[in-house]
Structure 1
Amino acid sequence: MKKRIVFICSNLSAGGAQNVVTLTSEKLVSIGYDVTIITFSSKKSDFYKLNEKIKRIPLDKLSNSKNIFNAIINNYSRIKTLRKTLKNQKFETCISFVTETNIITIIASLFLKNKIIISERNNPYKQDQKFIWHLLKFLTYPLADILTANSKLAIKYYKKNIFLKKIIYSPNPLPIPQNLSYTNKKNFLSVGKLTEQKGHDILIKAFANLINNNKSFSSYSLTIAGIGKEKRNLQKLASSLGIDKNIFWVYNANIYELLKKHSIFILSSRYEGTSNALLEAISAAKPIIVSNQASDSINFLKNNHNCIIFPINDIDLLTRSMEKLSNDYNFKSKLSKNLMIDYSMHYSKSDFDSHWIDLVD
């Protein structure tokens, strides 16, 4: 009989970590594991549809904390409820995602007999984190059995700073290569949470330069897919630059449907672990413009060979790159074809199933 495994995350809303949880759960349940997903949120925020064989336990304990005392009470409640659930369900392996959830899972599992695997999905050198969570990370992470991260840079950081024997590189699951119809529409697409990290403000400024300085681009549009606390500020920025009518904001959309309808994909992140949205655009061989901070974790991306890579904060170069890809059909076609070849080779060498079997067994 296969082991009983539980994945623990804050929610199943649209996001990179949630996508990895969903894909990994489906992989493991397909090869016979008994898989459950626990979230601190209710099911109302769910974006991903799960395989019917995956059990779902929403704790409904996700609420905003108004002050430090409120935060202590809320997190104590999460720990208490999670511990009770883990004791009752008797899972053999717990796999948690993202710092705060990792810490809560470790504390809730103290003196229980389950194996604990924690997963980091961001760049620890640049991730903005409150001091208390930063401190608790260094105090609790050594109590886990395995720490995984999805970039070599993060692995280097944790091996240097966390006293834990098993720190393992665990790349994101690769999407199946897609054969999407090619489009030459006058539009751009960016996908990611509306936070400072994702650099949507950089993209909006570059897009404004493109439209305001070249009349031939006045009919172009930019779609930004995501949700987050910076949405209002980004909309104000677009309005102040006179391009608010050229930008469309969407959420909960199927990324492959969006990729079908857009000509060029742009990721302007200030930092990343490994972007799932970028991997999905790559799997569809979409012409791509990506910041050097987001491309580092994907070793087969090469500037002017299968994508355009621009230095973060170089708004002028991003503008020129958008103009070049839009105007030069042959160059755009070359990047797309090379990307399809390079990704297919990379995908054929991936061994995701055996990697996770080794981790959980």
Structure 2
Amino acid sequence: MNEGTGADIVGAAGIAGARITIVVSALGAGGTEHVVSLVASHWARLGCAVTVITLEAPASKPYYELDPRVSIRRLDLPAQKAAKLRAGWLVVQRLHRLRSAVKNSRPDFVLSFLTRTNVLTLLATTGLPFPVIVSERNNPAVQPFGPLWKWLQLRLYPRAFSLVTMTKGALDYFPPQVRRHGRVIANAINLPAGWENRRGNNVLTAVGRLTAQKGFDILLTAFARIAPAHPDWKLVIWGEGEARQALEAQRDALGLKDRVEMPGVTARPGLWVETADVFVLSSRYEGWGIALLEAMASGVPVVSFACEWGPTDMIADGEDGLLVQNGDANALADALSRVLGDPTLAARLAANSKANVRRYDAEHILSQWDAVALSALEHAGARKPTTKPRGLPASGENVTSWLFMTSWIF
């Protein structure tokens, strides 16, 4: 890592000893959970009292390592599918437990991640005397949410002390009253410690949850087109999710059962970088694309859809990776075929990407989180009671009854 600047040192020193509460739905495998582990552990090392509150069951285990000084409080109300009335009641329970847990943690400020959790956190902390920072980790324009969640997001976000997004494009989605308190902080590079280079076996790698967002169905179509021309290559898709059965059926129907592996989640975070010879991101949309960044940082040539948002921030097309028209399976196939068939091109892209993404080193990115934290701490003492948004209850204790009455919208 590079040496910190004077401003970085001041920011870190300024938050030492603070009490910080972070709210996230879960601590499993995913980009958001990765960021939470980095930021929480960093602040704990600075001497902050950090509490992470999740909705998970008590026996849940974090996928990413957390500093042992970070306290984890699990509310035992994990996200689950339920009938509308039951779903509304679960939201009410989450609000009550979340409000109690936040109050008991006695924070100087609260940091919440992901839209639904952000909404719950802002509702649960209504009337409480500390700043709340919310962070969006995906493309807010296209994420599938019910009408009530969307309405609440737009109503409640102006109450937040700050909104943190990973790209300017995501921040620009929000109205001016939210943007003026917004900050853009990219994801940081955090490769697995002690990883070994076991490459050279012609492995095309993709990583992500097995969901429609990640576009693995498009990737399978593209790979089927070029597989005969590159018989020594195989595709490995790391991840787990609800689309597994459909993707396996598509793979088999395309005659790729012996050419495409779907081994699930890696035993330890990021271990896929050891065996990846080329990386591909086929997402329909992204908040950032942490696996893409990790591939570039570890010296793997990358091919990516130019989806919103993230890949176009990281990749200079033709210099340190290849960008193709979003959603175009034929264009993706052509770009992949170029890299798989041209070792010189692959080596050039890999070398450039490894050098160019140093701007996302962990120390630099964490210093930006320190600046947000310091700003919230400086504001906390002088914070005045928040004026309630129109149509929402003024009292935090009345929030749950109001939400329960509208639970049919869920």
Q: Which residue of 2 aligns with 1:5?
A: 20
Q: Of the candidates 256, 259, 263, which is equivalent to residue 250 of structure 1?
A: 263
Shift of 1:341: 1.9
Conserved in 2, the CA contact under 8 Å of 1:285 and 1:336?
A: yes
Q: Per-residue CA shift, 1:111-142, capped at 9, x if unaligned?
A: 11122000001112222221111011112112
Letter of the 1:191 counterpart: V
Counterparts of 1:134-173 in structure 2, within 5 Å, are 134-160=150-176, 163=178, 165-173=180-188
Letter of the 1:33 counterpart: C
Conserved in 2, the CA contact under 8 Å of 1:98 and 1:121?
A: yes
Q: Is the deviation greater in 251-260 or in 145-154?
A: 251-260
Residue 344 (structure 2) pairs with residue 312 (structure 1)? no
Residue 144 (structure 2) pairs with residue 128 (structure 1)? yes
Q: Aligned partners of 1:236 and 1:24: how far apart in 2?
A: 39
Shift of 1:164: 6.5
Q: Aligned partners of 1:198 and 1:100: how far apart in 2?
A: 20
Q: Per-residue CA shift, 1:70-129, capped at 9, x if unaligned?
A: 111001000000111112221111111000000101111111112200000111222222
Letter of the 1:23 counterpart: L
Conserved in 1, the CA contact under 8 Å of 2:171 and 2:179?
A: no
Shift of 1:52: 0.6
Q: Which residue of 1 aligns with 2:282?
A: 268
Shift of 1:195: 1.1
Conserved in 1, the CA contact under 8 Å of 2:139 and 2:309?
A: no
Conserved in 2, the CA contact under 8 Å of 1:290 and 1:309?
A: yes
Letter of the 1:343 counterpart: V
Q: Aligned partners of 1:7 and 1:349: how far apart in 2?
A: 19
Q: Which residue of 1 aligns with 2:355?
A: 341
SS in 2 for 1:265: strand
Q: Of the candidates 77, 87, 95, which is equivalent to residue 61 of structure 1?
A: 77
Conserved in 2, the CA contact under 8 Å of 1:65 and 1:74?
A: no
Q: Which residue of 2 aligns with 1:232?
A: 245
Compared with structure 1, are the counterparts of its residues 296 and 146 closer, same or farther at alpha carbon in structure 2 (3 Å cutoff)?
closer
Percent identity for Structure 1 against Structure 2: 26
Conserved in 2, the CA contact under 8 Å of 1:307 and 1:335?
A: yes
Compared with structure 1, are the counterparts of its residues 6 and 338 closer, same or farther at alpha carbon in structure 2 (3 Å cutoff)?
same
Residue 314 (structure 2) pairs with residue 278 (structure 1)? no
Conserved in 1, the CA contact under 8 Å of 2:52 and 2:73?
A: yes
Q: Which residue of 2 aligns with 1:223?
A: 236
Residue 336 (structure 2) pairs with residue 322 (structure 1)? yes
Letter of the 1:287 counterpart: P
Q: Aligned partners of 1:295 and 1:285: how far apart in 2?
A: 22
Shift of 1:49: 2.2
SS in 1 for 2:21: strand
Q: Per-residue CA shift, 1:296-348, capped at 9, x if unaligned?
A: 5553511121111111222122222222212211111111111122123x246
Q: Aligned partners of 1:348 and 1:202: how far apart in 2?
A: 31
Q: Aligned partners of 2:190 and 2:175: how far apart in 1?
A: 28
Q: Aligned partners of 1:185 and 1:19: how far apart in 2?
A: 28
Compared with structure 1, are the counterparts of its residues 110 and 251 closer, same or farther at alpha carbon in structure 2 (3 Å cutoff)?
same
Q: Which residue of 2 aligns with 1:27?
A: 42
Q: Aligned partners of 1:220 and 1:354: how far apart in 2?
A: 41
Gaps of 5+ in 2: 1-15, 375-410
Q: Which residue of 1 aligns with 2:120?
A: 104
Q: Of the candidates 294, 299, 313, which is equivalent to residue 313 of structure 2?
A: 299
Compared with structure 1, are the counterparts of its residues 302 and 163 closer, same or farther at alpha carbon in structure 2 (3 Å cutoff)?
closer
Q: Aligned partners of 1:300 and 1:142: how far apart in 2?
A: 29
Q: Which residue of 2 aligns with 1:18?
A: 33
Q: Aligned partners of 1:52 and 1:73: how far apart in 2?
A: 34
Aligned length: 356
Letter of the 1:5 counterpart: I
TM-score, length basis structure 2 = 0.81
Compared with structure 1, are the counterparts of its residues 176 and 239 closer, same or farther at alpha carbon in structure 2 (3 Å cutoff)?
closer
Shift of 1:165: 4.4
Compared with structure 1, are the counterparts of its residues 47 and 83 closer, same or farther at alpha carbon in structure 2 (3 Å cutoff)?
same
Q: Is the deviation greater in 55-64 or in 11-20?
A: 55-64
Q: Which residue of 1 aligns with 2:53?
A: 38
Q: Supply the RMSD in Å over aligned alpha carbons.
A: 2.2
Q: Aligned partners of 2:106 and 2:361: how far apart in 1?
A: 37
